[in-house]
Amino acid sequence: MDIFNLIFHTWYGGLTLMIICSLIIAKSCNIFEVATDYLGRNMSEGVKGASLNAIGSSIPELLTTVFFLIFATHANLARDLAASIGGNTGSAIFNSIAIPMLVIGTVIATVPGVVGLKISKKVVIRDGLFLITAELLLIVLLSSKYITHWHGWAFTLFYLIYLAYTFLSMKKGKNPEPQSSDHNDDSEQGKYLKYVLKTGTGRKRRSWLLLVGSTLIIAVACSGLVEGCKGISNSLGINPLFVALILIAAASSVPDTIISIRDAKKGNYDDSLSNILGSNIFDISISLGLPLALFLLFTGQKIEFSEAGSTLVDIRIVLLIVTLITIAIFYFSTILKKRHVVFLGLLYTIFILYAIGAAEYYSGSNSLLSQASGSFIQYLRQPNGLGEHLQRLADYITSGW
């Protein structure tokens, strides 16, 4: 078997490719953080996490959407768009559940004297309300029979409103510009920091150079994620949406995970949480909306999304439910402790089992998992049910698009 068939026609070849690409993304995340730390040195805590960190660490989700659209054939455009939405939705769910679980657990286990994390209620309310609104837009607008470039611009405009509000609420930070790096720091991040600070001038230019260079590396890795996803779905005979929902979501969330853990270990708990929430808003609006808007605008196409969209109703509802649960945990918990790690781990396990069951349901399986997930899907898609109500509402709003 040649290399091409090994990678693109076997599940283990596709999985290997995705693992390699996720490791490349993880390495590039170190460069991201050095650059964003310097460029955002004067931002207040919570704002840098919601803006620079969130945008930088969500580049993988943006690029996977780009490559899903570019690599799609006309016949599979709706299917591959649905897969990109599955990747962004799964990433948002991973960010909401798995990253806080890993952040809380890592800090408690490795930082002496820390028994829990305290999060600012202001950050939870600000980013949480914007995130819920973004997810409601996702539920409604993507229930349209047809998807046009105007749908993409609507998501993009929403993010610009969020970003403007975030920066208007910013108070100038008190972080002084670093004057020199620790010459004894031989870590990977320390080496990049030495590069940024090697002379007194040109530091901002070198920071941007690191940011752009790491983005290009991640772009190559993201194209591999997309191809690996398709290879797995083709070999197993399942919709690529469900592969993206679990595997691409986890792989593309590596930068969010690393940045959030490092921020929390430094004691920047607000930045750690706002990076998670801000990344979710970016994933839902810009990572999906901007590539979709530009692709459909330049190609002059519109996507008949009624068939592909029906497989997404349940996923979008699950995302909203997960978000409401996790935001309630963050807001009503005085301190996030070990018991929250256990609860979030259980919640993510339930989601994984549901996603596997949904994939089996759509492939015609009659397993216990497929029956459980299928009951929820059938409830949403029943005649005159929530799915039909959402489509009527979406078609009414977007009829002129």
Q: pLDDT tens across 322-359, in order?
A: 999 999 988 888 888 888 999 999 999 999 998 888 88
Give the residue-averaged pLDDT of 302-323. 75
**Ordered structural domains, the chain, with CATH:** 17-398 (1.20.1420.30)
> What local confidence, expressed as pLDDT, does residue 41 receive?
72
Whether this model's pTM surpasses 0.85: no
| Residues 232 and 14 sit within 8 Å (Cβ to Cβ) | yes
Block residue for tokens 């994939």: 359
Residues 182-226 have pLDDT tens digits of 545 556 667 787 777 777 777 888 888 888 888 888 888 988 888
The whole-angstrom separation of Cα 299 and Cα 70 is: 11
Percent of the chain with pLDDT over 90: 10
Residues 229-266 have pLDDT tens digits of 888 888 888 888 888 888 888 888 887 788 788 878 88
169-175 CB contacts, 8 Å cutoff, 24+ apart? 169/47, 169/126, 170/43, 170/44, 170/47, 171/44, 172/42, 172/44, 173/41, 173/42, 173/43, 173/44, 173/45, 173/48, 175/41, 175/42
Greater pLDDT, 205 or 53: 205
> What local confidence, expressed as pLDDT, does residue 53 receive?
63
Give the residue-averaged pLDDT of 104-126. 83
Tell me the CB-side half-sphere exposure of residue 279, using CA atoms within 13 A.
36
| Residues 163 and 54 sit within 8 Å (Cβ to Cβ) | no
| Residues 135 and 316 sit within 8 Å (Cβ to Cβ) | yes
pLDDT band at 267, cuts 50/70/90?
confident
